[in-house]
Amino acid sequence: MTSSPQPAGWYPDRQNPRLYRWWDGQAWTANTRPSHDAEMIELDVEGAHDPHRIRAQAAKATQGRGSGVTGGGTLFSEPVLVVNQRAKLIEMANEFGVFDQNGNRLGGVVQVGQSTVKKAIRLLTNYDQFLTHRFEIRDANHSTVLKVTRPAKVFKSRFLVTKADDSPIGEIVQENVFGKIRLGFVVDGRKVGGIFAENWRAWNFAIKDHADVEIARITKTWGGFVKAAFTTADNYVVEIHRPLRDPLASMVVASALTIDTALKQDDKG
Protein backbone atom coordinates (compact mmCIF):
# COMPACT_ATOMS: atom_id res chain seq x y z
CA MET A 1 0.00 0.00 0.00
CA THR A 2 1.05 3.60 -0.54
CA SER A 3 0.49 6.60 1.69
CA SER A 4 -2.49 8.89 1.22
CA PRO A 5 -3.87 12.00 2.94
CA GLN A 6 -6.92 10.32 4.49
CA PRO A 7 -7.47 10.47 8.28
CA ALA A 8 -6.66 7.59 10.62
CA GLY A 9 -9.08 4.68 10.38
CA TRP A 10 -9.87 1.25 8.94
CA TYR A 11 -9.78 0.97 5.12
CA PRO A 12 -10.14 -1.98 2.70
CA ASP A 13 -6.87 -3.78 2.08
CA ARG A 14 -6.01 -3.42 -1.59
CA GLN A 15 -4.25 -6.79 -1.62
CA ASN A 16 -6.96 -8.73 0.23
CA PRO A 17 -10.58 -7.55 -0.07
CA ARG A 18 -11.62 -9.71 2.87
CA LEU A 19 -9.51 -7.57 5.22
CA TYR A 20 -9.45 -4.01 6.47
CA ARG A 21 -6.08 -2.41 7.33
CA TRP A 22 -5.42 0.36 9.87
CA TRP A 23 -4.10 3.69 8.55
CA ASP A 24 -2.60 5.73 11.44
CA GLY A 25 -2.79 9.02 9.55
CA GLN A 26 0.75 8.79 8.21
CA ALA A 27 1.43 5.16 7.32
CA TRP A 28 -0.28 1.80 6.91
CA THR A 29 0.26 -0.50 9.92
CA ALA A 30 0.33 -4.28 10.12
CA ASN A 31 -2.99 -4.32 12.01
CA THR A 32 -5.88 -5.90 10.10
CA ARG A 33 -9.41 -7.06 10.81
CA PRO A 34 -11.93 -9.09 8.78
CA SER A 35 -14.20 -7.23 6.38
CA HIS A 36 -17.92 -7.03 7.05
CA ASP A 37 -18.57 -9.93 4.68
CA ALA A 38 -16.11 -12.13 6.56
CA GLU A 39 -17.80 -11.31 9.87
CA MET A 40 -21.42 -11.79 8.80
CA ILE A 41 -21.59 -15.44 9.85
CA GLU A 42 -20.66 -14.51 13.42
CA LEU A 43 -23.80 -12.40 14.02
CA ASP A 44 -23.15 -9.76 16.68
CA VAL A 45 -25.86 -9.68 19.35
CA GLU A 46 -25.06 -6.42 21.11
CA GLY A 47 -24.13 -2.89 20.14
CA ALA A 48 -21.33 -0.56 21.16
CA HIS A 49 -19.98 -0.63 24.71
CA ASP A 50 -21.89 1.17 27.43
CA PRO A 51 -19.59 3.25 29.70
CA HIS A 52 -22.18 3.21 32.49
CA ARG A 53 -22.32 -0.59 32.47
CA ILE A 54 -18.53 -0.81 32.42
CA ARG A 55 -18.25 1.52 35.42
CA ALA A 56 -20.75 -0.67 37.27
CA GLN A 57 -18.73 -3.79 36.42
CA ALA A 58 -15.55 -2.25 37.77
CA ALA A 59 -17.16 -0.98 40.95
CA LYS A 60 -18.79 -4.32 41.75
CA ALA A 61 -15.69 -6.41 41.04
CA THR A 62 -13.30 -4.20 42.99
CA GLN A 63 -15.84 -3.17 45.66
CA GLY A 64 -14.82 0.40 44.98
CA ARG A 65 -11.13 -0.13 45.75
CA GLY A 66 -10.06 1.43 42.44
CA SER A 67 -12.28 4.50 42.64
CA GLY A 68 -10.41 7.77 42.88
CA VAL A 69 -7.14 6.18 41.75
CA THR A 70 -5.83 7.91 38.64
CA GLY A 71 -4.05 5.74 36.10
CA GLY A 72 -1.87 6.59 33.15
CA GLY A 73 -4.47 5.91 30.48
CA THR A 74 -2.79 2.85 28.94
CA LEU A 75 -3.05 -0.92 29.19
CA PHE A 76 0.09 -0.95 31.35
CA SER A 77 -0.63 1.97 33.66
CA GLU A 78 -4.26 1.62 34.73
CA PRO A 79 -5.01 -0.03 38.10
CA VAL A 80 -8.27 -1.56 36.79
CA LEU A 81 -8.87 -3.15 33.39
CA VAL A 82 -12.42 -4.08 32.39
CA VAL A 83 -12.40 -6.80 29.73
CA ASN A 84 -15.58 -7.36 27.70
CA GLN A 85 -15.80 -10.03 25.05
CA ARG A 86 -17.56 -9.12 21.83
CA ALA A 87 -20.76 -11.15 21.92
CA LYS A 88 -21.45 -13.20 18.77
CA LEU A 89 -24.13 -15.78 18.18
CA ILE A 90 -21.62 -17.83 16.18
CA GLU A 91 -18.00 -17.17 17.13
CA MET A 92 -15.18 -17.80 14.66
CA ALA A 93 -12.51 -15.60 16.28
CA ASN A 94 -12.47 -14.17 19.79
CA GLU A 95 -12.39 -10.41 20.32
CA PHE A 96 -12.23 -8.44 23.55
CA GLY A 97 -12.49 -4.75 24.29
CA VAL A 98 -10.42 -3.44 27.21
CA PHE A 99 -11.55 -0.36 29.16
CA ASP A 100 -10.53 1.59 32.23
CA GLN A 101 -12.83 1.74 35.26
CA ASN A 102 -14.52 4.87 33.88
CA GLY A 103 -15.50 3.20 30.61
CA ASN A 104 -12.75 4.71 28.41
CA ARG A 105 -11.40 2.32 25.79
CA LEU A 106 -7.75 1.37 26.34
CA GLY A 107 -7.41 -1.23 23.59
CA GLY A 108 -8.43 -4.74 22.79
CA VAL A 109 -7.49 -8.33 22.11
CA VAL A 110 -7.99 -9.94 18.71
CA GLN A 111 -7.52 -13.56 17.72
CA VAL A 112 -5.58 -13.60 14.45
CA GLY A 113 -4.56 -16.22 11.88
CA GLN A 114 -7.94 -17.97 11.80
CA SER A 115 -7.89 -19.65 8.40
CA THR A 116 -11.02 -20.99 6.70
CA VAL A 117 -10.07 -24.51 7.78
CA LYS A 118 -9.61 -23.45 11.41
CA LYS A 119 -12.96 -21.68 11.39
CA ALA A 120 -14.65 -24.77 10.01
CA ILE A 121 -13.05 -26.92 12.70
CA ARG A 122 -14.20 -24.47 15.36
CA LEU A 123 -17.74 -24.38 14.03
CA LEU A 124 -18.25 -28.08 13.38
CA THR A 125 -16.08 -29.93 15.94
CA ASN A 126 -14.61 -29.81 19.44
CA TYR A 127 -11.00 -30.05 18.24
CA ASP A 128 -10.30 -26.33 18.35
CA GLN A 129 -8.37 -26.73 21.61
CA PHE A 130 -5.71 -28.87 19.91
CA LEU A 131 -4.79 -26.18 17.36
CA THR A 132 -2.35 -23.30 17.62
CA HIS A 133 -3.99 -19.99 18.54
CA ARG A 134 -2.55 -16.50 18.15
CA PHE A 135 -3.67 -13.26 19.77
CA GLU A 136 -2.67 -9.64 19.42
CA ILE A 137 -3.09 -7.18 22.26
CA ARG A 138 -3.62 -3.72 20.80
CA ASP A 139 -3.69 -0.26 22.33
CA ALA A 140 -6.32 2.45 21.83
CA ASN A 141 -4.69 3.43 18.52
CA HIS A 142 -5.01 -0.17 17.24
CA SER A 143 -1.24 -0.67 17.37
CA THR A 144 -0.08 -4.10 18.52
CA VAL A 145 1.78 -3.92 21.84
CA LEU A 146 1.98 -7.63 22.74
CA LYS A 147 1.47 -10.96 21.01
CA VAL A 148 0.44 -14.21 22.67
CA THR A 149 0.70 -17.59 20.93
CA ARG A 150 -0.66 -20.81 22.37
CA PRO A 151 0.95 -23.70 20.46
CA ALA A 152 -1.06 -26.83 19.77
CA LYS A 153 -1.45 -28.82 22.95
CA VAL A 154 -2.67 -32.17 24.27
CA PHE A 155 -2.96 -31.87 28.04
CA LYS A 156 -1.13 -28.78 29.32
CA SER A 157 -1.19 -25.38 27.66
CA ARG A 158 1.82 -23.17 27.05
CA PHE A 159 1.72 -19.54 25.93
CA LEU A 160 4.52 -17.62 24.26
CA VAL A 161 4.49 -13.89 25.04
CA THR A 162 6.37 -11.56 22.71
CA LYS A 163 6.59 -7.88 21.91
CA ALA A 164 5.00 -6.49 18.76
CA ASP A 165 8.23 -7.13 16.83
CA ASP A 166 8.15 -10.82 17.92
CA SER A 167 11.08 -10.47 20.32
CA PRO A 168 10.47 -12.86 23.25
CA ILE A 169 9.35 -11.75 26.70
CA GLY A 170 8.51 -15.03 28.41
CA GLU A 171 6.19 -18.02 28.67
CA ILE A 172 3.02 -18.81 30.59
CA VAL A 173 3.11 -22.52 31.45
CA GLN A 174 0.24 -24.62 32.76
CA GLU A 175 1.49 -26.47 35.82
CA ASN A 176 -1.30 -28.95 36.50
CA VAL A 177 -4.10 -30.83 34.74
CA PHE A 178 -6.48 -31.63 37.61
CA GLY A 179 -7.84 -29.43 40.35
CA LYS A 180 -7.53 -25.66 40.55
CA ILE A 181 -5.57 -24.53 37.53
CA ARG A 182 -2.11 -22.99 38.03
CA LEU A 183 -0.04 -21.24 35.38
CA GLY A 184 3.51 -20.06 35.93
CA PHE A 185 5.28 -17.05 34.41
CA VAL A 186 8.70 -18.10 33.14
CA VAL A 187 11.24 -15.53 31.92
CA ASP A 188 14.76 -16.56 30.86
CA GLY A 189 14.26 -19.95 32.48
CA ARG A 190 13.20 -18.65 35.89
CA LYS A 191 9.75 -18.38 37.42
CA VAL A 192 8.74 -14.77 38.13
CA GLY A 193 5.13 -15.35 39.18
CA GLY A 194 1.93 -17.03 38.12
CA ILE A 195 -1.85 -17.30 38.04
CA PHE A 196 -3.78 -19.33 40.61
CA ALA A 197 -7.46 -20.26 40.22
CA GLU A 198 -9.45 -20.09 43.43
CA ASN A 199 -12.17 -22.61 42.56
CA TRP A 200 -12.60 -25.62 40.32
CA ARG A 201 -14.37 -23.62 37.60
CA ALA A 202 -11.23 -21.44 37.33
CA TRP A 203 -12.94 -18.19 38.40
CA ASN A 204 -11.66 -16.13 40.13
CA PHE A 205 -7.87 -15.83 39.84
CA ALA A 206 -5.07 -14.48 42.00
CA ILE A 207 -1.93 -13.34 40.18
CA LYS A 208 1.20 -13.55 42.34
CA ASP A 209 4.88 -12.63 42.01
CA HIS A 210 7.88 -14.90 42.64
CA ALA A 211 7.56 -14.31 46.41
CA ASP A 212 3.94 -15.59 46.39
CA VAL A 213 2.59 -12.07 47.02
CA GLU A 214 -0.66 -11.20 45.25
CA ILE A 215 -0.06 -8.41 42.73
CA ALA A 216 -3.30 -8.60 40.73
CA ARG A 217 -6.72 -10.24 40.71
CA ILE A 218 -9.12 -11.38 37.98
CA THR A 219 -12.84 -11.39 38.76
CA LYS A 220 -15.53 -12.61 36.38
CA THR A 221 -18.56 -10.34 36.06
CA TRP A 222 -22.14 -10.65 34.78
CA GLY A 223 -22.39 -9.81 31.09
CA GLY A 224 -26.15 -9.46 30.93
CA PHE A 225 -29.03 -11.74 29.94
CA VAL A 226 -28.40 -11.65 26.19
CA LYS A 227 -24.77 -12.70 26.54
CA ALA A 228 -25.53 -15.38 29.11
CA ALA A 229 -28.49 -16.86 27.25
CA PHE A 230 -27.33 -16.80 23.65
CA THR A 231 -23.51 -16.62 23.56
CA THR A 232 -20.38 -17.88 25.30
CA ALA A 233 -18.96 -14.35 25.65
CA ASP A 234 -17.55 -13.40 29.04
CA ASN A 235 -16.77 -10.22 30.93
CA TYR A 236 -14.22 -9.84 33.70
CA VAL A 237 -12.24 -7.24 35.62
CA VAL A 238 -8.48 -7.21 36.23
CA GLU A 239 -7.40 -5.35 39.36
CA ILE A 240 -3.65 -4.58 39.48
CA HIS A 241 -2.61 -3.74 43.03
CA ARG A 242 0.57 -1.78 42.32
CA PRO A 243 2.64 -0.52 39.37
CA LEU A 244 4.74 -3.31 37.87
CA ARG A 245 7.96 -3.32 35.89
CA ASP A 246 8.74 -5.38 32.84
CA PRO A 247 8.94 -8.24 32.16
CA LEU A 248 6.41 -8.91 34.94
CA ALA A 249 4.11 -6.09 33.79
CA SER A 250 3.86 -7.51 30.28
CA MET A 251 3.36 -11.04 31.58
CA VAL A 252 0.51 -9.93 33.84
CA VAL A 253 -1.25 -7.96 31.10
CA ALA A 254 -0.75 -10.70 28.51
CA SER A 255 -2.04 -13.44 30.80
CA ALA A 256 -4.95 -11.45 32.18
CA LEU A 257 -6.20 -10.45 28.75
CA THR A 258 -5.99 -13.90 27.14
CA ILE A 259 -6.75 -16.29 30.01
CA ASP A 260 -10.47 -16.45 29.26
CA THR A 261 -9.97 -17.71 25.72
CA ALA A 262 -7.37 -20.23 26.81
CA LEU A 263 -9.58 -21.78 29.44
CA LYS A 264 -12.70 -21.72 27.28
CA GLN A 265 -10.92 -23.57 24.47
CA ASP A 266 -9.51 -26.09 26.92
CA ASP A 267 -13.00 -26.76 28.30
CA LYS A 268 -14.05 -28.04 24.86
CA GLY A 269 -11.86 -31.09 25.15
Q: Does residue 228 surpass a pLDDT of 70?
A: no
Segment 103-123 mean pLDDT: 70
Opening angle at CA 139, ends 13 and 136, nearest 5: 65
Query: What does the pLDDT look like over 173-225, one tens digit per residue?
Result: 988 878 888 999 999 999 999 999 887 665 689 999 999 999 999 988 754 43
Quote the pLDDT of residue 34: 59
Please tell me the predicted confidence (pLDDT) of residue 186. 96
Between the two ends of the chain, the Cα-to-Cα distance in Å is 42
Q: How far apart are CA 213 and CA 237, in angstroms?
A: 19
- For residue range 82-99, list pLDDT tens digits in order: 988 764 434 445 678 899
Assess whether pLDDT exceeds 60 at residue 72. yes
Reduce the DSSP state of residue 254 to 3 states and report it.
helix
* Banded pLDDT at 33 (limits 50, 70, 90): low
| pTM of the entire predicted model | 0.72
More confident residue, 142 or 39: 142
- What pLDDT is attached to residue 256? 86
Let me know the angle formed at the C-alpha of 221 by 98 and 81, rounded to the nearest 5 degrees: 25
Q: What's the whole-number average pLDDT of the chain?
A: 75
Per-residue b/e over 8-32, b at no fewer than 16 CB within 10 Å?
eeeeebeeeeeebbbbeeeebbebb
In the predicted structure, residue 263 carries a pLDDT above the cut 50: yes
